Amino acid sequence: MKTEYFKEQLYTLLEFTEIINSTLDINDLMNIVMDKAKSELEAEACSILFYNDKTNKLEFEIAICNNQDTCETLKKKISIELGQGIAGWTALNKEPLYIEDVRNDKRFYSDADKITGFITKSIIAVPLIGRRGLIGVAEIINPERTNYDKDIFVALCKQFAIAIENALLYKESLERERLKHELEIASSIQKSFLPDRPVFTKKDFFIKAVNIPAYMIGGDLYDFVDLSNDKVDFIIGDISGKGISAALYMAKLISDFRHISVLNNSVTATIAHMNNIVNNAPMGMFITAIYMSCNVSKGHIEYINAGHLPFLKIGVDGVVNVIDEISGPPLGVMEYEYQPLTIELQKGEALLLITDGVIDATGMEGKHFGFNRLLDFVKKHHSSDRLLELLIEDINVYSRGFQRNDDITILELRRL
Amino acid sequence: MEIKIEDQKNIRILSAMGEVDMHTSPELRKHLLKAVKDKIPIVIVDLKEVSYIDSSGIATLVEALKGMMKYKGSLKLCSLSERVKEIFSFAKLDKVFEIYKDLQDATIG
């Protein structure tokens, strides 16, 4: 008789192990296993509560019983504090409980029954503990069968907990993959908003740009607009914040800039129009930007620096000047009358405009690349026709092994 | 980042501690928007214990400033560290915000 009993237990164990290993789908796994446990123990209901470490509460993830309304009410309306009720006690103490008559147990939390109308008589509650700690609690309610082996039951629950954890990890990894794929698509869409080619030439003006988002998508922007025989406008900017919101707004602003720069015939009108648009941006978003309008025949440039970093002027002789005049605050902060500034570019001279990802690139001991290192670098390589590429290489060497937090955009304007 | 809240007559003081960046600024935003919703006449953000503020942190302040301007409220910043002061003055944001030397100046100013 004893042999028969152990044989039966062993079969049950094997059957459960097979079910546990049969799927990585978290919902299938929990439903199949709990349904099986419910029928094996001839129980009226069963449930799994997950531990939410943000609220420090247990919430119903799975509830199986004959009344669908009861199950839905449990999932939507009831959460349990750690230490509260049988499930809360089990989670807090990480020990199983077998309560044959809940009326005799002070730990029993009767509010769930009051809300659902269900009558709980007996409970088996087992903590589900994975490698990362408490996952939750599994409960079997009103089991008819009581002649089960508690050790085997606990062993099964341990296996079940690990299977749940694996399924959760699998779900997370699928989600990460999906997100990565979505970001790759977003990244290629965002790149399509930038000029088709990062190089632009008009008469003896030569413009080259590089844009490297810190993550797959970024909030930096640049653009060139070919306006008339002698005129080319361009912009370099950095939208506040990072990630999807900045990237989306970047896409909108580039479209707006192309339209507005054609629509308006002066630097002040264009920038006022842009400022007006960004002023209505959500969540206080703003953009630091330099907008330049160049007469390519005369080398005369009118520009606005709206709260953006200084730029460099590289002379024919290699003398590098920092142009740090600012026209006003970033676009989108307030109504403001930006006054244009001017600069002349002689043949052989160049301008180098950057976003703060260049100087904020972090290297050893958390030190930033900095403006001085940029200056020294430009002085050394000012005549190279690969200035941008060399600068990017230098930044990469400087920050190798360190997480880049900010997008990098560099724009080189040369009068050949 | 931690935020300490203190209410005085017509004034709410939000004292932030730590770095205000894209991860922490939502917490500051929550308190600032609450103050805007409650139409608090004067909100002082004490940045004495703030070592760094990034553009998303500044955007949070800009959003609050715009929200407060609608009901003619006043947003004041005080006790900026040298690093934070540089960030503000460089981008001409010191012309946008009311900036005070310390909490006492902000309270009476």
What residue segments make up the domains of chain B, in order of their start? 2-108
The C-alpha atoms of residue A360 and residue A328 are separated, in whole angstroms, by 22
Q: Which residues of B fall within a CB distance of 8 Å from A280?
A: none
Sheet holding B42-53, edge to edge: B2-8, B11-20, B42-53, B74-78, B98-100
CB pair distance less than 8 Å for A242 and B22: yes
Q: Which stretches of chain B score pLDDT less than 70?
A: none
Domain ranges of chain A: 2-168, 193-415
| Chain B residues whose C-beta sits inside 8 Å of any chain A C-beta | 22, 29, 55-56, 58-66, 90-93, 95-96
Between CA A236 and CA A223 the distance in angstroms is 7
| ipTM above threshold 0.95 | no
Q: Distances from the Cα of A246 to the Cαs of A93, A139, A189, A225, A411, in angstroms?
A: 46, 46, 14, 22, 20
CATH topology of domain A2-168: Beta-Lactamase (3.30.450)
Cα distance from A274 to chain B (closest Cα, Å)? Answer: 17
In CATH terms, is domain A193-415 a member of 3.60.40.10? yes
Q: Does A307 touch chain B (CB under 8 A)?
A: yes
Give the three-state DSSP class for B101: coil
B16 CB-side CA count, 13 A: 31
Q: In sequence order, which residues have a C-beta less than 8 Å from that of residue A34 and are 6 or more positions away? A: A46, A47, A48, A62, A64, A138
Bridge partners, residue B4, by sequence: B15
Contact A241 B63 (CB under 8 A): no
From the list A283, A326, A328, the residue facing B63 with the nearest CB is: A283
Which chain A residues are closer than 8 Å to B62 by Cβ?
Answer: 240, 284, 286, 332-333
Q: Name which of B92, B94, B98 to mutate to probe chain A: the one with the most chain A Cβ atoms within 10 A of its Cβ.
A: B92
For residue A386 the two structure tokens come to: 């690969």
Task: State the Cα–Cα distance between residues A314 and A350, nearest whole angstrom.
Answer: 5
Residuewise pLDDT in 10s, chain A (416 residues): 567 877 877 787 788 888 888 888 888 888 888 888 888 888 899 999 999 998 999 999 988 888 888 888 887 878 889 999 999 999 999 999 999 999 888 889 888 888 888 899 999 999 999 888 999 999 999 998 877 777 777 888 888 898 999 999 999 999 999 988 988 898 888 888 899 899 999 999 999 999 999 888 889 999 999 988 799 999 999 999 888 889 999 999 999 999 999 998 899 999 999 999 999 999 999 999 999 999 999 999 999 999 999 999 999 998 999 999 999 999 999 999 999 999 999 999 999 999 999 998 998 888 899 999 999 999 999 989 899 999 999 999 999 988 888 899 999 999 99
Give which of A279, A298, A393, A284 is closest to A347, Cα–Cα: A298
pLDDT value for A173:
94
For residue A1, the model assigns a pLDDT of 57
CATH C-level class of B2-108: alpha beta
Q: What is the pLDDT of residue A126?
A: 92
CA A179 centroid distance within chain: 9
**Chain B residues within 8 A of A333 when measuring between CB atoms:** 62, 93, 96
| Cα A357–chain centre separation | 19
